[in-house]
Structure 1
Amino acid sequence: MLRVTGLTKHYRTADEDVAVLRGVDLTLATGESVALTGESGSGKSTLLHLIAGLDAADSGEIRLGDTLISALGDAGRAELRRDRLGLVFQQFNLIPSLTVSDNLAFQSRIAGRHDPAWHDELVERLGLGALLKRYPEQLSGGQQQRVAIGRALAPKPLLLLADEPTGNLDEDTADEVLRLARDLVVRTGCGFLMVTHSARLAATLDRQVTLHAGVIA
C-alpha cells in the first residue's frame, strides 16, 4: 500500500549541505501498523513529512497505492492529504474556534466524505460524548489528542501518519490514546505509520523499523 524507494533529502545550512535521508526503502501493507524509531536527528520526522507530502524529496520515489506522491506538485500533495491521508502530531492542532464535534468532523467535511454514522461511532469509541460542545481549551491533553485522532480517521483515510502523537501525554494517558488509535485503525483497515521514541509503545505495533544516520538500519 505504501512503498518508499531510494529516498534522499538534504538541507543546506550556512556552512554545509546536511544529508538527512540517504536512500531510504520502506514498505507498509494495507492494515499494517509500523513504528518508526531512531535517535534524535536520524530523519524520522523528515521521512514522515515527505510521505505526507509536506515537503519534497531530492530523489527517490514515494508511492501510495497507485499514486506517485514524489511526482506531485504542491496542489497535488495538498489534495492527497485531504483525500487519502490522516495526520496526527504531537501538537494537537485543533481549531480553537470550533467545538469538539466540529473539530471531529472538519477533515471529513473538507474531503466530502462526512459519514454521520461513522462520526457517531468515533464519538462513542473515543469517549467524547460528554465533550462535544466544549472547545479545545476546555480539554485535557489526552482528550485533545483523542479528538485529533478521531478527526484524522473520520474520512477513513488510506494511511494514518502520526509523529510522536503521545509525546505530550503521561504514560497512562499515552497507553490509552494509542490503544484507541490502534483499535480504530483496525476498524477502518487503513495503514498506520507512527514515529516514536518509546520502545514500549513501538512494541505494541505490528512491526518496528529503525532509522539510523538517514538509512533504515
Structure 2
Amino acid sequence: MLQVHDVFKSYATAQGPLPVLQGIDLTLRPGSSLALMGESGSGKSTLLHLIAGLDKVDHGSISSGDYRLEQMNEAQLAHWRRTEIGLVFQQFNLIGSLRVEDNLAFQARLAGRHDAQWQAHLVQRLGLADLLRRYPEQLSGGQQQRVALGRALASQPKLLLADEPTGSLDEATSDEVLKLLLELLDDSPTTLLMVTHSHRVAARLAQTVTLHGGRLADAQAR
C-alpha cells in the first residue's frame, strides 16, 4: 500500500539546516493500521505531510502503487490528495459555509467517487442523521470530528492519514470517536496511519512505531 524508503528532510534556519527526518523506512500493508508516536518536534507531522504530498523529501522515495511522490509535480500531488488519500486533523477543518451533509460529500465529489449509499452508511454509523442540516459552528467538538472522519472516508480512500485526530477531545469522546473510526475501517480496505501522543490510542491500532532523533525505532505489533 505504502512504501517510505530512506527519506531525509531538513528545514532551513538562521543557524543552518535543521535535520528532522534521517533515513526513514516504513511499509504499510493494505488494510493495516499503524500509530506513529514520538516526542514533540520529532518529525511525526513532517512525515505525515510528506506522505500527503504537502511537502517534498530532500532525499529518498515515497510510493504507493504507480505513484512516486518525489517525482510528481504540484498538479499530480493535488490529484493524489484528492483521489487516493483521506486526511483528518486535530482541528477538524470543516467548511463553515457548508452544512454537515455537504461537508460529508465534499471530498468524494472532488474525487469523482460520491456514493450516496456509502455516505448514508457513514451517516448511520457515525450517528449524524439528526445533524445533516446543521453548520459546523452548531456542533460540539466530538460531532465535528465525526463529520471530519465521515468526509475523509466518504471517498473510500486507499490511505487515511490522521494527525492527532482525537487530541482536542476529552477522553470519553476520544474513545467514542476512535471506536467509530476503527469500526468503519473494518468495513473498508482503507489503510490507516495515525500520528498520536497517546499510548492509550496507539494501543488500539495493529502496530506502533516511534520517531526519535529523526529515525524510527523498531515497530511494535499487536
For the aligned pair, the TM-score class normalised by the smaller chain equals over 0.9
Mapped to 1, the partners of 2:187 and 2:69 lie a distance apart of 26
Mapped to 1, the partners of 2:186 and 2:42 lie a distance apart of 29
TM value normalised by structure 1:
0.99
- Give the aligned residue type for 2:48: L
- Deviation larger for 77-86 or 58-67: 58-67
Which residue does 1:51 correspond to in 2? 51
Which residue does 1:30 correspond to in 2? 30
Which residue does 2:17 correspond to in 1? 17
Q: Number of matched residues?
A: 217
Deviation, 1:14, is 1.2
Mapped to 2, the partners of 1:150 and 1:65 lie a distance apart of 25
Mapped to 2, the partners of 1:33 and 1:66 lie a distance apart of 21
Report the 3-state secondary structure (helix = DSSP H, G, I; strand = E; otherwise coil) of the residue aligned with 2:76: helix
Which residue does 1:69 correspond to in 2? 69
Which residue does 2:186 correspond to in 1? 186
Mapped to 1, the partners of 2:111 and 2:125 lie a distance apart of 22
Mapped to 2, the partners of 1:190 and 1:69 lie a distance apart of 19
Report the 3-state secondary structure (helix = DSSP H, G, I; strand = E; otherwise coil) of the residue aligned with 1:24: strand
RMSD value over aligned CA atoms?
Answer: 0.6
Which residue does 2:89 correspond to in 1? 89
Mapped to 2, the partners of 1:8 and 1:206 lie a distance apart of 26
Deviation, 1:66, is 2.3
Could you tell me which runs of 5 or more consecutive residues in structure 2 were left unpaired when the two chains were aligned: 218-222
Report the 3-state secondary structure (helix = DSSP H, G, I; strand = E; otherwise coil) of the residue aligned with 2:6: strand
The equivalences for 1:97-108 within 5 A come to 97-108=97-108
How many percent identity over aligned positions?
A: 62
**What is the CA deviation profile of residues 37-90 of structure 1, one whole-angstrom value per residue up to 9, with x for unaligned ones?**
011111000000000000001010001122111211111111000000000001
Could you tell me which runs of 5 or more consecutive residues in structure 1 were left unpaired when the two chains were aligned: none
Report the 3-state secondary structure (helix = DSSP H, G, I; strand = E; otherwise coil) of the residue aligned with 1:188: coil
TM value normalised by structure 2:
0.97
Report the 3-state secondary structure (helix = DSSP H, G, I; strand = E; otherwise coil) of the residue aligned with 2:151: helix
Q: Does 1:145 align with 2:145?
A: yes
